[in-house]
Structure 1
Amino acid sequence: MIQYSLKCSEGHSFDSWFQSAAAYDKLAASGMVSCAVCGGSRVEKAIMTPRVRPARSAAETPATERPLSAPATPAEQALAEMRRKIEQNSDYVGRDFASEARRMHLGETPERSIYGEARIDEAKALIEEGIPVAPLPFLPNRKAN
């Protein structure tokens, strides 16, 4: 088995295991290697450092880790990308989400993409009224000031 660091044409980085280097080459040539984040088929090997087992004294020192701000897994990368797109293309309405969604549904305010916060009972009431809503898998950034 061999592990490769891969990168797609959209810039997503991820790791994958293959039976051998020849198996990777065969799968890549037939277009069967796809990005774990976006599903794109234009994937290539990324520059990677070899894994060398450290000496005993070096093993006692903590290894350099990825910064906490960088997504570590393909799932985290996909969630970070989804969050970026939502925040870039939607208006944050905060705790007024339910009332703003209702006003848009009734035609009292222009329709646009919004996201915000709602209590469970508010979200259920919106759904019962036929107003399409969906939960997001992240909490909005809150301003500390």
Structure 2
Amino acid sequence: ALPADLREVVSVAATARSGEKAGYSSYGLGVVDLAAPGGDRGGCVLSTVPGGYATRCGTSMAAPHVSGVAALVAARDREPSDDRAQAADRLREVLLDSASPTACPTDYDLDGNGHQDAYCTGYQGYNAFYGHGTVDALAAVSRVR
């Protein structure tokens, strides 16, 4: 599914306040690159809305979180490349390599009915729910000079 399947794209899953994948978020091994806060069930993210601020949940909250970290990394990088593709590859590498590894949950029964709502495959450093892990701004910025 485009654009997430494009190599140049960093696909983002949303996490709930607990750090677990939000119930509405897409997932899949090889589909998700990173995870970031997107909120879920009463614990949404404060966002700008027409006329002010309100809480919202969604990958539309998680993706800007990753974009913000990418902007911090790009602003701090003292060795930027004039080649846009090379610069984008470097930025992607920093984001993925600095992510906080997040293991698959042992139990993903969101409604408590005894049935798993989704299955996470992979290992702590790379899996279907969190990709390479949860984006980490401090670790990402610390990787560039």
TM-score calculated relative to the size of structure 1:
0.23
Highest RCO, 1 vs 2 (Cα 8 Å, sep ≥ 6): 2
Q: Choose between structure 1 and 2: higher helix proportion.
A: 1
Question: Higher Cα Rg: structure 1 or 2?
Answer: 1
